[in-house]
């Protein structure tokens, strides 16, 4: 089970390789409303709402959506009115409406850890898309180099990832340890957030559990086609370049038949 700490999430996630521009562009093209699955704290939701487009933000974490609601409270009424927050499971949800666009940013689709859950999520998306509507999401391509770094004696070894300053002159250090299960195509990561004061004294430690599937392009095409999607397209980045290299981002689009 994945457990996020909303207070740390936004510190270490911003524009993931151009995904904000990509998803905001799709929303502008369709004109809304947009359904976003795995909406979290609203990193992608907010720019779309600020562009005047209605967004329904669905996430399984009430805590993440509470951060989104707090962020919305600082926005003008015209923006606040465009966002609806829904606590729900992206593999088993039902809303009484359909959308021209459903999006699942920042690898959130991989929280569906089994083929059955992945198909269930895609079928829910199909049910909630208008005829001809678009589903878009992105996932990481399993990198052989990254797997090697977490194999054998290096499996589960802690590594420094990043750090961010705090307002009081201290900092928050992020480190991670990762295990790959190649048989099940699943990856388990523990993220450790260590908070230090301006004297370098540790104040607190928080742990985050991240448990995901990993998928190859063929897996994605199989799931999409089984769910009934057509015009399935998998690019290697958010600019539409073809997928050619191990470790590229997989940017996926598919349509409900019109």
Picking from 200, 158, 148, 153, the residue whose alpha carbon sits closest to that of residue 178 is 158
**Spans of the chain, pLDDT less than 50:** none
Q: Residue ranges of the domains in the chain? A: 6-142+216-255, 144-213
Burial class (CB in 10 A: 0-12, 13-18, 19+), 168: exposed
**What is the pLDDT, as a whole number, of residue 3?**
54
Q: Residue 4: its pLDDT value, please?
A: 62
Determine the pLDDT at residue 153.
Answer: 84
Per-residue pLDDT, 13: 66
What pLDDT does 245 receive?
86
Q: What is the pLDDT of residue 143?
A: 84
- Asked if 72 contacts 42 with a C-beta cutoff of 8 angstroms, the reply is yes
The reported pTM is 0.92
pLDDT attached to residue 8: 77
CB-based contacts of 154: which residues, under 8 Å, 6+ apart? none
Residue 150 CA, distance from chain mean position: 22
Q: Who's near 93: CB < 8 A, 6+ residues apart?
A: 58, 86, 124, 128
Q: Residue 256: its pLDDT value, please?
A: 98
Q: Enter the tokens of residue 183.
A: 């048989």
Cβ–Cβ < 8 Å for 176, 189: yes
**Which class does domain 6-142+216-255 fall in?**
alpha beta
Sign of the CA dihedral running 64, 66, 28, 223:
positive
pLDDT at 144: 83
Q: How far apart are CA 7 and CA 193, in angstroms?
A: 11
Residue 154 pLDDT: 82
- CA dist 119 and 115 (Å) reads 6
How far apart are the C-alpha atoms of 249 and 138, rounded to whole Å?
7
């Amino acid at each position: 089970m994945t457990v996020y700490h909303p207070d740390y999430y936004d510190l270490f996630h911003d524009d993931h390789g151009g995904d904000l521009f990509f998803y905001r562009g799709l929303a502008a093209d369709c004109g809304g409303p947009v359904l976003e699955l795995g909406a979290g704290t609203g990193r992608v939701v907010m720019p779309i709402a600020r562009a005047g487009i209605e967004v329904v933000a669905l996430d399984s974490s009430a805590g993440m959506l509470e951060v989104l609601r707090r962020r919305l409270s600082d926005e003008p009424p015209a923006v606040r009115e465009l966002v609806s927050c829904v606590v729900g499971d992206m593999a088993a949800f039902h809303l009484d409406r359909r959308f021209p666009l459903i999006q699942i940013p920042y690898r959130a689709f991989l929280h569906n850890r089994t083929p059955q859950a992945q198909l269930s999520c895609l079928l829910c998306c199909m049910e909630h898309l208008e005829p001809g509507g678009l589903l878009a999401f992105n996932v990481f391509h399993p990198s052989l180099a990254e797997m090697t770094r977490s194999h054998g004696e290096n499996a589960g070894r802690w590594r420094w990832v990043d750090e961010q300053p705090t307002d009081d002159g201290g900092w928050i250090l992020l480190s991670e340890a990762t295990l790959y299960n190649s048989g099940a195509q699943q990856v388990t990561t523990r993220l450790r957030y260590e908070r230090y004061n301006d004297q370098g004294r540790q104040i607190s430690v928080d742990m985050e559990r991240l448990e995901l599937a990993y998928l190859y392009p063929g897996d994605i095409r199989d799931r999409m086609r089984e769910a009934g999607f057509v015009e399935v397209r998998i690019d290697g980045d958010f600019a539409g370049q073809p997928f050619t290299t191990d470790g590229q981002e997989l940017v996926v689009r598919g349509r409900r038949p019109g």
